[in-house]
C-alpha cells in the first residue's frame, strides 16, 4: 500500500470510527441531531436548508457498511415524487398502481392533472465507493460483480432494503454497484404493497450477457417500481423520520 493510500485509508477510518452502529431490523432516527455525524444546513436568512447524517450498518456477513444519508434542495415534477409529510402535494399511490395496465393509465392521467413542480429536499441514502476502502470483503464483491460471478454475498446485498416511517411507511431496495455509489437507496414504494409494477421500456438481453445480468441492469436502470422522496423544509418534521434496514425476500 502506497503512502498516499495509507493516508486516505487512515482518514476514512477516523471519519467513521465514532459513527453510531445499527443492525438489520433495529429502528433508528434517520436524522438524529444528537448524533455527532448529523449536520444541519441553513440558508443566509437562517432558514432550514437541508440536513445530512451517517450511520454504520453491521451486516454481520459483510462487516460494517458506512452509510451516508443526504438531502439536496431540488425542484421536481409533482407527479414524479412522493411527499410523505403532505401526500397531496405529490403522487398519491392507490389501488390503481397495483396492476400494470391500470398504473399506465393513471400515470398518463397524473401527468395532465398533477402538472407543475414542487420544491423540497430530495433524499438519497448511499454507500460511497471511497467509504469501502477499509472493507476488503466489499471490495472483493465489486471484483466478483465485474467478473460476472455473483456470490451468495452479492445476492444478499440485493435483498437489503431501507424502510422509513413517516406516518405512512415507504421502502427502497438497494441498488448495487451503481455509477453513484457501491449501494444506493432512492426509489421508494409503499412497504405494505412492495415494489410497484415497473412501467419503463425495459431492456432486451444483450448479446454476450447472461439473462441474470441483463435483468439486474434493467432493474438498476428502470426506477419506475417506486418514486423519489421529497421532504419539506421543516427541520422538526424531518427529525421524526424513523428508519430500519432489513434483509427481505424478493420476487
Cα angle 104, 106, 108 (rounded to 5 degrees) comes to 70
Would 158 be classed as within a structural domain?
yes
Would 85 be classed as within a structural domain?
no
Would 207 be classed as within a structural domain?
no
Would 250 be classed as within a structural domain?
no
The predicted-structure confidence for 167-215, as pLDDT tens digits, reads as follows: 899 999 998 877 767 889 999 999 999 999 998 743 333 333 333 443 4
Which regions of the chain does DSSP assign to beta strands (E)?
Answer: 21-22, 28-29, 39-42, 48-58, 64-77, 81-82, 117-127, 160-165, 169-173, 175-178, 181-185, 188-190, 228-231, 242-247
Cite the DSSP H helix spans in the chain.
3-16, 100-113, 136-146, 152-157, 211-221, 235-238
The predicted-structure confidence for 39-98, as pLDDT tens digits, reads as follows: 999 999 999 999 999 999 998 877 889 999 999 999 999 999 999 999 999 999 999 999
From the list 20, 64, 29, the residue with the least C-alpha distance to 235 is: 29
Would 220 be classed as within a structural domain?
no
Q: What is the pTM of this model?
A: 0.82
pLDDT of residue 13: 62
Would 251 be classed as within a structural domain?
no
Start-to-end CA span in the chain (Å): 42
The range of the structural domain enclosing residue 20 comes to 3-78+116-193+228-244
**Helix, strand, or coil (residue 50):** strand
pLDDT of residue 11: 54
Q: What is the residue whose three cell numbers read 407543475?
A: 116
Would 223 be classed as within a structural domain?
no
pLDDT of residue 129: 82
Would 200 be classed as within a structural domain?
no
Count structural domains, the chain: 1
pLDDT band for position 165 (50/70/90)?
very high
Cα angle 238, 244, 245 (rounded to 5 degrees) comes to 130
Q: Give the H or E element holding residue 95.
A: none
- 230, three cell numbers: 421529497
Amino acid at each position: 500500500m502506497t503512502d498516499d493510500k495509507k493516508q486516505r485509508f487512515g482518514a476514512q477510518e477516523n471519519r467513521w470510527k465514532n459513527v453510531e452502529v445499527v443492525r438489520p431490523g433495529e429502528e433508528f432516527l434517520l436524522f438524529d441531531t444528537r448524533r455527532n455525524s448529523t449536520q444541519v444546513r441553513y440558508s443566509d436568512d437562517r432558514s432550514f436548508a437541508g440536513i445530512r447524517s451517517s450511520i454504520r450498518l453491521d451486516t454481520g456477513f459483510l462487516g460494517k457498511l458506512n452509510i451516508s444519508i443526504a438531502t439536496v434542495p431540488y425542484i421536481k415534477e409533482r407527479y414524479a415524487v412522493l411527499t410523505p409529510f403532505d401526500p397531496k402535494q405529490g403522487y398519491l399511490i392507490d389501488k390503481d398502481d397495483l396492476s400494470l395496465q391500470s398504473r399506465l393509465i393513471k400515470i398518463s392521467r397524473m401527468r395532465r392533472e398533477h402538472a407543475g413542480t414542487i420544491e423540497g429536499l430530495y433524499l438519497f441514502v448511499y454507500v460511497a465507493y471511497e467509504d469501502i476502502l477499509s472493507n476488503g470483503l466489499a471490495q472483493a464483491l465489486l471484483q466478483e460483480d465485474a467478473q460476472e460471478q455473483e456470490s451468495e454475498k452479492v445476492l444478499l446485498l440485493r435483498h437489503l432494503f431501507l424502510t422509513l416511517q413517516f406516518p405512512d411507511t415507504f421502502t427502497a431496495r438497494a441498488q448495487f454497484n451503481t455509477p453513484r455509489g457501491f449501494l444506493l437507496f432512492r426509489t421508494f414504494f409503499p412497504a405494505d404493497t412492495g415494489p410497484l409494477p415497473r412501467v419503463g421500456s425495459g431492456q432486451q438481453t444483450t448479446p454476450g450477457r447472461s439473462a441474470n445480468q441483463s435483468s439486474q441492469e434493467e432493474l438498476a436502470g428502470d426506477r419506475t417500481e417506486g418514486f423519489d422522496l421529497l421532504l419539506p423544509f421543516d427541520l422538526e418534521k424531518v427529525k421524526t423520520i424513523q428508519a430500519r434496514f432489513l434483509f427481505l425476500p424478493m420476487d
